[in-house]
Amino acid sequence: MATRLQFENNCEVGVFSKLTNAYCLVAIGGSESFYSIYEYELADVIPVVKTSIAGTRIIGRACAGNKNGLLVPHTTTDQELQHLRNSLPDSVVVQRIDERLNALGNHIACNDHVALAHTDLDRKTEELIADVLGVEVFRTTIAGNILVGTYCALSNRGGMVHPHTSIEELDELSTLLQVPLVAGTVNRGSDLIAAGMTVNDWTAFCGSDTTATELSVIENVFKLRKAQPSAIVDEMRKSLIDSYV
């Protein structure tokens, strides 16, 4: 199910949070309401971790990750890195990478199997992505934009891209990613998809400006209507319990 919320009156929730199948990162906000919504939805299933990256709150755009790992930029402080390593499950590898383009969330769009990367990323970074996240990496652009991380929101069930993407490109990307894709908008016609929403296999969170039409499109493409977390997350339960002890 998709939820609509705001971070301190701002609808770009994908900037202030990062949602994957194994964990969820949220920014430290003035009021606890942002965190509590995530907790309400996810607390039983996956850990919800409050953090900052490089002292900033734009964690959704700074890091990129999936259930296998998390990549953080070189500007992350040691304390933040340690905090992340402590809070996240052991199966999740937290790696700090040295990359000139350090807003990793804007440059990398990934799910658990495949990732799209910015065309100018280092070779080394690409290898690291493949290693840490356990994905196949493709360098591509979306509708002529090189910031693939911003203009594409991916989950294992589906994906949404920039509204100006042509049909041929949609087909091509869809073949690469092996998931159904749709060109749509979020937050009342905004084309910054991944900044406006964050999604995993059973739930999605969108900015409160998102209209009903957009929400229905999101729910359709990411197949959120019938999704239940339990089936997907059972495999991860063991590792979670370990951390409690």
Partner 1 sequence: MVEDQDAGMFNVKQTIGTVLCCRCGIKMQPNAANMCVSCLRSEVDITEGLQKHVVISHCPNCDRYLQPPKNWLKAQWESKELLTFCVKRMKNLNKVTLINAEFVWTEPHSKRIKVRLTIQKECLEKAYVVEYVQQDHLCESCSRVAANPDQWVASVQLRQHVSHRRTFFYLEQLILKHDAASKAIKIKQMHQGIDFFFGNRSHAVKFMEFLRSVVPTKSRDDKQLVSHDVKSSNYNYKYTFSVQISPVCREDLICLPRRLSSSLGNIGPLVVCTKVTNSIALLDPFTLRHCHLDSDQYWRHGFKSLMISRQLVEYIVLNIEITSPPMEAKIGGARYLLADAEVARLSDLGRNNNIFSVKTHLGHLLNTGDHALGYDLCAANSNNSELEKYKSSLEVPEVVLIKKSYEEAWQRKRGKPRKYKLKHLEMEVEDRARVDEEKERSDYEQFQRDIEENPELRFNLSLYRNKEYQEESEAGSMADDAAGCSSVGGAAC
Q: Does 183 bind partner 1 (CB under 8 A)?
A: yes
Question: Could you say which of 139, 211, 219, 229 contacts partner 1 (CB under 8 A)?
Answer: 211
Q: Specify the amino acid at residue 182.
A: V
Q: Does 214 bind partner 1 (CB under 8 A)?
A: yes
What is the C-alpha separation between 189 and 131, in angstroms, rounded?
Answer: 36
CB of residue 174 to partner 1, shortest distance in Å: 12
Rank residues 84 and 160 by Cβ distance to partner 1 and give the closer one.
160
- Alpha carbon 209 to its chain's center: 19
Rank residues 86 and 166 by Cβ distance to partner 1 and give the closer one.
166
CB of residue 190 to partner 1, shortest distance in Å: 8
Question: Could you say which of 191, 192, 200, 207 contacts partner 1 (CB under 8 A)?
Answer: 191
The three-state secondary structure class of 160 is strand
CB of residue 180 to partner 1, shortest distance in Å: 13
DSSP characters over 203-227: -EEEETT--HHHHHHHHHHTT-SS-
Helical ranges in 11-117 per DSSP H: 13-16, 33-42, 59-62, 78-87, 104-107
CB of residue 12 to partner 1, shortest distance in Å: 16
Q: Binders of partner 1 among 148-177, rule CB under 8 A? A: 163-170, 172
Rank residues 99 and 169 by Cβ distance to partner 1 and give the closer one.
169
The candidate with the shortest Cα–Cα distance to 48, out of 56, 58, 38, is 38
